[in-house]
Structure 1
Amino acid sequence: MIDRSLFENTETAFELKSDSELERAYFLFKMISSEPLVRIGTAATNFALKAHLPVEKLIRATVFDHFCGGVNEDDCLPVIDKLYTKGVSSVLDYSVEGKSVENQFDNALAKILKIINFCDEREAMPIVVFKPTGFGRFLLYQKKTEGVVLTSEEEAEWGRIVGRFDAVCKLAKEKDVEVLIDGEESWMQDAADDLVEEMMRRYNKDVAVVYNTLQLYRWDRLDYLKQLHKRAKADGFKIGMKIVRGAYMEKERERALDKGYDSPICENKKATDDNFDETLNYILQNLKDISVFIGTHNELSCYLAMDLMKTHNISKEDNRIWFGQLFGMSDHISFNLAAQGYNVAKYIPFGPVKDVMPYLIRRAEENTSVSGQTSRELSLLKTERKRRKL
């Protein structure tokens, strides 16, 4: 069995943080732990940005610099290099959300292609990520998912989405960079799943380059993986899969209630945790066909993955298994895993301060609603502050 006290090591967890950065992290998580403060802060920040008040410097010095790498790729380099001194790789995540016109999708494509070339020059960046709706309209994915017949203009628009996906996956294959494609809402996801599978068939012949995402708060996702696995074995391609618990739970439940269909979300947290762990187990038993990026802040799931790797005699350095956490969170997991020799990457959001605010606000709200996450961060930061004083 793996040592269950590994994630208590705060010296390793926060080694890269200066005393002032440690204090800032403590202050931020203290603020985030209060739901009323998050609500007030969110409203005030949105107002200040819309009114063009000079608050960007303040945002940059606090929440932005804690959770984001910078405003552009070059700005992120010091963070990337610093993380890599401790064996933690970086996944640059262009976190500008909610775009809906063609030139914005083309700009997003250009940005991702630039990041792949950027990755090619740096050992510390073996992985790139994008959202399906970064490359095309949400409503078009929804129509495809619902089986609505597209107009000729929409067919042409869908063709452009396919072209953007293909351009990224093709270049990634050439440059030996892995591509993680995020999961989104269930009512558009089938169209995205089909498109990602098409890319896997093209580019995952020998090894997994293209990765889809399973949001395992959905009770149907393990079945989907098993069906995909059958097709992959029959048709001779590898599966790449990022596994996460999920990010749209309230929205999913509200829509299901509103539209009168069964919620796709597991009935409770335990069912979600069980689904995640069962899926992880299935993948590690089928590693010859499926590579995995384990995106989790859950310590028990990380311990389980380590136990399973030991049971199945899988090397810690096996490139088919990566652990991932968000920048600014769960350093006790990321840095302690990396110190043990596992493959670990931090998701590093970046983009103009104003454009990245929706992402940052969601992070703050998620931390407030995930019971235990913020209090765990706070208790570890407290322990490290005490250790340093001694």
Structure 2
Amino acid sequence: VEINLIRVDINVRRLNTLSNRRAQSTVASTQSDQDVTNREDAGAQSYPSRKSRNASSSPKISIDFELTQEAYKSKDNLELLRSLVVFKLCSYDLLVDKNKELMDISKFLLGKKAFEQFMKMTFYGQFVAGEDHKSIKSLIQKNRAFGVGSVLDYSVEEDLTEEDAVTKEMDSCVSATEKEGMGMDHREKQYKAHQQFGDRRGGVTGARTYFYADEAKCDQHMETFLKCIKASGGSSVDGFSAIKMTALGRPQFLLQFSEVLVKWRRFFSFLAAQQGRDGMEALEQRLELQPLQVYRTHRALLCLFVQTGQLEPLLNKFTEEEEKQMKRMLQRLDVLAKHAEEHSVRLMVDAEQTYFQPAISTLTVEMQRIYNRGKPVIFNTYQCYLKEAYDIVTMDVELSRREGWFFGAKLVRGAYMYQERRRAEEIGYEDPINPDYETTNMMYHKCLDYILDEIGLNRNANVMVASHNEDTVKHTLRRMNELGLTPTENKVYFGQLLGMCDQISFPLGQAGFPVYKYVPYGPVNEVIPYLSRRAQENRGFMKGSQRERELLWKELKRRLASGQVFYRPQPEPGL
């Protein structure tokens, strides 16, 4: 494997940043949050006047999410009624459990055209913008008129059987060497493909899943992402677009590269414990002067396993074709990043399963190092239900500050919790997920506060608060007021899904905050698998949408009582 493709030396410095900080806490016996205190103290000395000036002079912004007239001014009465009906139907377990069968029966009884029209009037119309780039323009323009931007998301999924999904996954995640029965003894079980979890769609909340077919299919996915980037750039001056790395190449590379990175992290944690702070600083200086040597033997990467003193293979031998596939994946990423930069679109790289995520996150940081020099183009996604979320966020922020590029993050709670828990339990490794929802909330706010503090200090960090949680949004607004961060600076963004939580999105947009809807689109029949899973996996959210239904009903009654039977949305000038 060509070392310059994966920039091992840079990835090691990224891991070393975390290990160095851990060494400080090991030697000095500091409190758990001492690194935060030290950073804030240092930052306050560097930027004292700007922080205090902004905090005192900026107008305080408060938003009331109970004002239904403001929250739903972009919706006509039929849209309000549709939301009420859809949310109510999604709260019934029987309908959700049998939704695929019910849709098949409806299609048979109504015929294709009538069925598609019915879906557009109900579930498809609620959660999907349209069938193609042309048909979604009116909704994008309407939302923009009311202060809400769009993140385009082509949501077509293959309607695979579970058996077909498992076959594709096992074929694309197992190397040719392993298929011959070699090189399996040193692999860690967390980063090996397991047949019982071959269908990655199970236990996933809302996230779209890609299965590798061939390189031509990956090129098709890249072309789709390119069209989304172009459309986002054409619809607004500050657009976002989202991509998934598993759509762009063979997942075997992500799986094995993730294992390499985790082993490197252990290596540096071991050195941190053995050498302490002074030793780690000396090692870091040597690494910066001379990139870490990685041994290559017949295209197999080896590293020194410090506890045994033996050379241990980190990557199995790649065949010539596998090596080409890896290179093409990295090339597709580069094409997308360049296209986003050329069209002034910010590119968000979605997070995926923990056995892929170390590679995804590291490659995203590498793109940030290249493309985020003058402005934030690439955004990494951080899943705050992970126990290590805060460590990863702080590590990447510190690396961006050290190297002088713009940090860009999207914070989410996470979409793979049930799958991750079950996989860890059945295969036998530590559960990577926080123990409960409250702990995840605390982790989300801890990561968010750290990034907001960084923005307050130097304005080089950027964050999208991708959350439907009203308390999290209110917390963000409160912290922005404390730090003197204004909406017009475009450093803090908000994101919600199309058709959900309009009582949060539109008041924020009308108050001048940069807020975005994730806008799925695609032909009705090809989006059905996506809609079907969204109904099943979001049942908990839908059951908890009682407050949203109450607000919708309150606004509908207000309009009918005031004679606004044929209400037509009218955007305010200047939005």
Query: Paired residue for 1:130?
Result: 243
Displacement after TM superposition at 1:201 (Å): 0.9
Percent identical: 34
Q: Does 1:142 align with 2:255?
A: yes
Query: Paired residue for 2:293?
Result: none
Tell me, yes or no, if the aligned pair for 2:153 and 2:228 is still in contact at 8 Å.
Answer: no
Displacement after TM superposition at 1:338 (Å): 1.0
Return the alpha-carbon distance in structure 2 between the equivalents of residues 244 and 378 of structure 1: 24
Q: Does 1:223 align with 2:391?
A: yes
Return the alpha-carbon distance in structure 1 between the equivalents of residues 560 and 483 of structure 2: 42
Alignment of 1:103-252 (within 5 A): 103-123=216-236, 126-147=239-260, 148-149=315-316, 150-252=318-420
Residue 80 of structure 2: SS of its match in structure 1?
Answer: helix
Tell me, yes or no, if the aligned pair for 1:80 and 1:124 is still in contact at 8 Å.
Answer: no
Displacement after TM superposition at 1:239 (Å): 1.5
Residue 143 of structure 2: SS of its match in structure 1?
Answer: helix
Return the alpha-carbon distance in structure 1 between the equivalents of residues 542 and 81 of structure 2: 22
Q: Does 1:310 align with 2:481?
A: yes
Task: Render the CA deviation track for 1:52-83: whole Å, top value 9, x for unaligned.
Answer: 96233322331111101111111110000110
CA, structure 1 residues 245+50, in 2 after alignment: closer, same or farther (shift >3 Å)? farther
Tell me, yes or no, if the aligned pair for 1:93 and 1:347 is still in contact at 8 Å.
Answer: yes
Q: Does 1:70 align with 2:130?
A: yes
**Counterpart among 60, 63, 87 of residue 29 in structure 1:** 87
Query: With structure 2 as the length reference, what TM-score do the two structures score?
Result: 0.64
Q: Does 1:379 align with 2:492?
A: no
Residue 488 of structure 2: SS of its match in structure 1?
Answer: coil
**Counterpart among 35, 51, 56 of residue 116 in structure 2:** 56
**Counterpart among 100, 105, 110 of residue 212 in structure 2:** 100
Across the aligned residues of Structure 1 and Structure 2, the Cα RMSD in angstroms comes to: 2.1
Return the alpha-carbon distance in structure 1 between the equivalents of residues 326 and 108 of structure 2: 33
Return the alpha-carbon distance in structure 1 between the equivalents of residues 110 and 419 of structure 2: 30
Amino acid at match of 2:75: K
Return the alpha-carbon distance in structure 2 between the equivalents of residues 243 and 20 of structure 1: 33
- List gaps (5 residues or longer) in structure 2: 1-59, 158-209, 261-314, 562-575
Q: Does 1:341 align with 2:512?
A: yes
CA, structure 1 residues 81+167, in 2 after alignment: closer, same or farther (shift >3 Å)? same
- List gaps (5 residues or longer) in structure 1: none
Task: Render the CA deviation track for 1:354-380: whole Å, top value 9, x for unaligned.
Answer: 232232223222331237642222222
Displacement after TM superposition at 1:184 (Å): 0.9
CA, structure 1 residues 353+142, in 2 after alignment: closer, same or farther (shift >3 Å)? farther
Residue 136 of structure 1: SS of its match in structure 2?
Answer: coil
Displacement after TM superposition at 1:44 (Å): 2.9
Larger Rg: 2
Residue 169 of structure 1: SS of its match in structure 2?
Answer: helix
Residue 255 of structure 1: SS of its match in structure 2?
Answer: helix
Residue 98 of structure 2: SS of its match in structure 1?
Answer: helix
Amino acid at match of 2:518: Y
Amino acid at match of 1:95: S
Tell me, yes or no, if the aligned pair for 1:367 and 1:373 is still in contact at 8 Å.
Answer: no
Displacement after TM superposition at 1:191 (Å): 1.1
Q: Does 1:45 align with 2:116?
A: no
Return the alpha-carbon distance in structure 2 between the equivalents of residues 258 and 56 of structure 1: 41
Amino acid at match of 1:19: N
Displacement after TM superposition at 1:206 (Å): 2.2
Amino acid at match of 1:20: L
- Quick check: 114-123 or 243-252, which moved more? 114-123
**Counterpart among 295, 320, 334 of residue 466 in structure 2:** 295
Return the alpha-carbon distance in structure 2 between the equivalents of residues 155 and 53 of structure 1: 48
Tell me, yes or no, if the aligned pair for 1:244 and 1:295 is still in contact at 8 Å.
Answer: yes
Q: Does 1:267 align with 2:435?
A: yes
Return the alpha-carbon distance in structure 2 between the equivalents of residues 51 and 253 of structure 1: 40
- Quick check: 257-266 or 140-149, which moved more? 140-149
Amino acid at match of 1:69: A
Return the alpha-carbon distance in structure 2 between the equivalents of residues 387 and 270 of structure 1: 36
Tell me, yes or no, if the aligned pair for 1:94 and 1:130 is still in contact at 8 Å.
Answer: no
CA, structure 1 residues 271+47, in 2 after alignment: closer, same or farther (shift >3 Å)? farther
Amino acid at match of 1:347: Y
